[in-house]
């Protein structure tokens, strides 16, 4: 029997309208493509089987001349009228495109195919395809099949999807294929009678005014003819095919790039640890070509949240109610260079980072909660809060259909008190992190650091995502403008740079041009000390970075075994090219402003000295 369309009429007892599901998503500010990634990936994670990874694929393809006629024939025959569904207009386009979302390592959509048949714990098919606004109280789920599933239709210009799934039914594999469309409810008058329809339309095997999916070999054959064959033989999983996807003003390439970035910003905890052992693996293709999905550690504005995630060891509690609320991790750092992507901006991330990533125990991002800006423009902080398993039900109830916020005011009683306390504690932590940290000078007086203390965590090459931090001192120019001979401490207990004049005969003067500064060089965080050589004649200049011991105790003469040390990357005259090497042979007295460029050592305070000697030799 060839698959057919059937429009759903209202039952005598009524029921919800199709447009109600679509309009329920209007309250979110999330882009439909972001919402699609979040909702579908949450569904995929909830359907995982065993301990193996869940593979999540997004594939956009233009139907070839051998495929497009099959789609038009199978879906166009007997399709609802244009006024009741936009499918006919989409099928009439000269070029047809299909966006598919596939998961494997999942159990597929099993259980009864009818909504009026209940089997405890086995209702995936009915919940996803049949029911509107259904939900689950099962713990450990990132979302539900409620109204969020409507985003699949929202992205389709035809509001039409095909669902191809393989699942276990009574211990054996069964493949199912069904079409499903939603639009607006409507009324038809015919032969003096009036009949109302919900706006839902189904495509499949029609039986007694009801549509069942194609099953078994028939489902496999039709799916293969339509190119919906991403499910490996013998494995369970699901493909949702979105007909005629609508991307607004974006090109197809821009839409795919948006989706892969949405994967990273919304699902990065599932990508950790980076590599084959991550609980979810993400893939994207556009017309047969792979679209790379970045590693979270490769995204500068996201990287600090990974460090905070690794530091998530601070308990958050409601002591009077005796409840654990969750755990919080916090990191401070120098702000990454450049503007964040548009996907990050949609998540609330601006040029400066001062946010907490909120997540439930399943490690799926809910939102990035903004806090007060860091007190210095060059700095920022990032935090991660993961709700306690015992609070999962509470925070799930506070989420809207799009799962992108915690609306505490929705809650009542102790649930509301607990959720409000968690957000209060998070906001208090961000307020504290936004201000200067205390430090002690030699006299033991509490002072405010003129520059940040824990800086540039993991921004150095080779340490991304590992939580390393470089802490460097802001230099102070000694009196007279020349480099001091013994270092020492300047205002606020900050070490002065070492080097310059007043040593053994043959030393040349070095005049520091401003303070030690942080810059980005080829994507790497470095320290830059500018200087001039006022004495004419040839000289050799040496860079001497060192680790300061703090509290006025000088610098390390011998670093611990295996410890990282600051290193000289090279020298630059004005804005010229970089010259590598720890020493520089040049001429002084010509007014050139040189830059010494140093890679700081993680978890240290770095001092920098510039030493010059006439003619040559080692300073």
DSSP 245-290: B--TT--HHHHHHHHHHHHHHHHGGGGPSSSTTSSEEEEEEETTEE
Instruction: Evaluate if residue 355 carries a pLDDT over 60.
Output: yes
Least-confidence region, from 135-149, 245-259, 491-505: 491-505
Percent of the chain with pLDDT over 70: 79
DSSP helix, strand, coil percent of the chain (3-state; round to 5) = 20, 35, 45
Average pLDDT for residues 368-376, to the nearest whole number? 94
Whether the full predicted model's pTM is greater than 0.85, yes or no, is no
Instruction: Evaluate if residue 509 carries a pLDDT over 80.
Output: yes
pLDDT one-digit tens code per residue, 78-135: 999 999 999 999 999 999 999 999 999 999 999 999 888 877 767 899 989 987 644 4
pLDDT one-digit tens code per residue, 265-285: 999 999 999 977 899 999 999
Q: What is the dihedral of CA 610, 613, 614, 617, to 10 degrees?
A: -130
Average pLDDT for residues 184-208, to the nearest whole number? 89
Are 256 and 284 in contact, with CB atoms under 8 Å apart? Answer: yes
Supply the mean pLDDT for the chain: 82
Q: Record the tokens describing residue 509, joined without a space.
A: 């003067």
Burial 359-392 (b: 16+ CB within 10 A, else e): bbbbbbbbbbbebebbebeebbbbbbbbbbeebb
Distance CA 45, CA 54 (A): 7
Distance CA 484, CA 188 (A): 91
User: Which spans in 151-206 are helix H?
Assistant: 151-155
Q: What is the pLDDT of residue 148?
A: 65
In this prediction, residue 478 has a pLDDT band, given cuts at 50, 70 and 90, of: very low
Residue 520 three-state SS: strand
Are 278 and 53 in contact, with CB atoms under 8 Å apart? Answer: yes
Instruction: Evaluate if residue 609 carries a pLDDT over 60.
Output: yes
Nearest Cα neighbor of 529 from 547, 548, 542 is 542
At 35, phi and psi to the nearest 5? -65, -40
Q: What is the pLDDT of residue 333?
A: 87
Residue, of 461 and 373, whose pLDDT is higher:
373
Nearest Cα neighbor of 105 from 44, 16, 149, 172 is 44
In this prediction, residue 499 has a pLDDT band, given cuts at 50, 70 and 90, of: very low
Distance CA 515, CA 476 (A): 6
Average pLDDT for residues 314-318, to the nearest whole number? 97
Nearest Cα neighbor of 307 from 384, 363, 372 is 384
End-to-end CA distance of the chain: 91
Q: How far is CA 73 from the centre of its chain?
A: 40
Q: What is the pLDDT of residue 142?
A: 44
Which residues 6+ apart lie within 8 Å of 450 measured at CB? Answer: 474, 491, 492, 494
Distance CA 585, CA 351 (A): 40
Q: What is the pLDDT of residue 117?
A: 82
Average pLDDT for residues 220-237, to the nearest whole number? 92
Which residue has tokens 């949609």?
346
The residues facing 174 across adjacent strands are 167
Q: What is the 3-state secondary structure (H, E, C) of 96-142?
A: CEEEEEEEECECCCCCCCCCCCCCCCCCHHHHHHHCCCCCCCCCCCC
Distance CA 574, CA 594 (A): 6
Q: Are strands 280-286 and 323-334 parallel, antiparallel or unpaired?
A: unpaired
Q: What is the pLDDT of residue 533?
A: 92
């Amino acid at each position: 029997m060839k698959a057919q369309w059937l429009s759903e009429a209202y039952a005598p007892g009524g029921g919800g309208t199709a447009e109600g599901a679509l309009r329920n998503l209007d309250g979110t500010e999330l882009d439909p493509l972001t919402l699609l990634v979040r909702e579908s990936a949450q569904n995929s994670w909830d359907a995982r089987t065993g301990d193996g990874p869940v593979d999540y694929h997004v594939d956009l393809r233009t139907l070839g001349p051998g495929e497009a006629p099959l789609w038009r024939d199978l879906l166009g025959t007997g399709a609802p009228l244009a006024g009741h569904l936009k499918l006919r207009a989409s099928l009439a386009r000269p070029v047809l495109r299909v966006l598919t979302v596939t998961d494997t390592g999942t159990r597929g959509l099993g259980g009864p195919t009818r909504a009026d048949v209940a089997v405890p714990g086995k209702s995936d098919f009915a919940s996803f395809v049949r029911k509107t606004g259904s939900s689950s109280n099962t713990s450990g789920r990132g979302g539900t099949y409620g109204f969020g599933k409507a985003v699949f239709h929202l992205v389709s210009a035809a509001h039409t999807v095909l669902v191809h799934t393989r699942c276990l039914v009574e211990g054996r594999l069964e493949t199912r294929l069904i079409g499903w469309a939603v639009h607006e409810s409507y009324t038809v008058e015919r032969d003096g009678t009036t009949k109302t329809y919900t706006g839902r339309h189904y495509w499949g095997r029609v039986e007694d005014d009801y549509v069942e999916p194609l099953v078994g070999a028939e489902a496999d054959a039709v799916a293969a003819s339509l190119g919906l064959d991403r499910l490996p033989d013998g494995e369970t999983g699901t493909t949702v095919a979105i007909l005629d996807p609508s991307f607004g003003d974006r090109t197809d390439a821009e839409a795919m790039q948006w989706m892969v970035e949405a994967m990273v910003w919304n699902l990065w905890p599932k990508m950790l640890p980076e590599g084959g052992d991550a609980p979810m693996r993400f893939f994207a293709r556009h017309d047969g070509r792979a679209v790379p999905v970045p590693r979270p550690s490769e995204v500068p504005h996201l990287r600090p949240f990974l460090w905070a995630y690794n530091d998530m060891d601070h308990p958050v509690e409601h002591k009077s109610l005796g409840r654990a609320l969750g755990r919080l991790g916090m990191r401070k750092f120098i702000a990454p260079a450049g503007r964040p992507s548009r996907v990050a901006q949609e998540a609330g991330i601006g040029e400066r980072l001062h946010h907490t990533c909120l997540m439930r125990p399943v490690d799926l991002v809910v939102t990035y909660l903004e806090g007060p800006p860091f007190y210095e423009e060059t700095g920022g902080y990032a935090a991660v809060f993961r709700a306690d398993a015992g609070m999962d039900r509470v925070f799930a109830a506070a989420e809207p259909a799009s799962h992108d916020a915690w609306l505490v005011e929705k809650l009542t009683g102790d649930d509301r008190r607990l959720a409000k306390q968690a957000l209060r504690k998070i906001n208090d932590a961000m307020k504290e992190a936004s201000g200067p940290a205390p430090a002690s000078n030699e006299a033991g007086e509490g002072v405010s650091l003129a520059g940040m203390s824990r800086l540039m965590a993991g921004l150095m090459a080779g340490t991304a995502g590992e939580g390393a931090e470089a802490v460097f001192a802001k230099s102070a120019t000694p009196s007279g403008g020349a480099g001091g001979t013994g270092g020492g401490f300047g205002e606020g207990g900050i070490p002065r740079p070492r080097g310059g004049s007043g040593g053994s005969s043959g030393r040349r003067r070095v005049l520091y041009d401003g303070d030690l500064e942080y810059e980005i060089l080829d994507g790497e965080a470095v320290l830059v000390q500018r200087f001039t050589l006022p004495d004419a004649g040839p000289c050799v200049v040496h860079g001497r970075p060192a680790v300061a011991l703090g509290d006025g105790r000088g610098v390390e003469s011998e670093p611990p075994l295996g410890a990282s040390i600051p290193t000289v990357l090279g020298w630059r005259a004005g804005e010229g090219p970089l010259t590598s090497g720890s020493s520089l042979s040049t001429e002084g007295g010509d007014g050139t402003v040189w830059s010494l460029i140093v890679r700081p050592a993680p978890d240290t305070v770095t001092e920098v000295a510039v030493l010059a000697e006439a003619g040559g030799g080692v300073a």
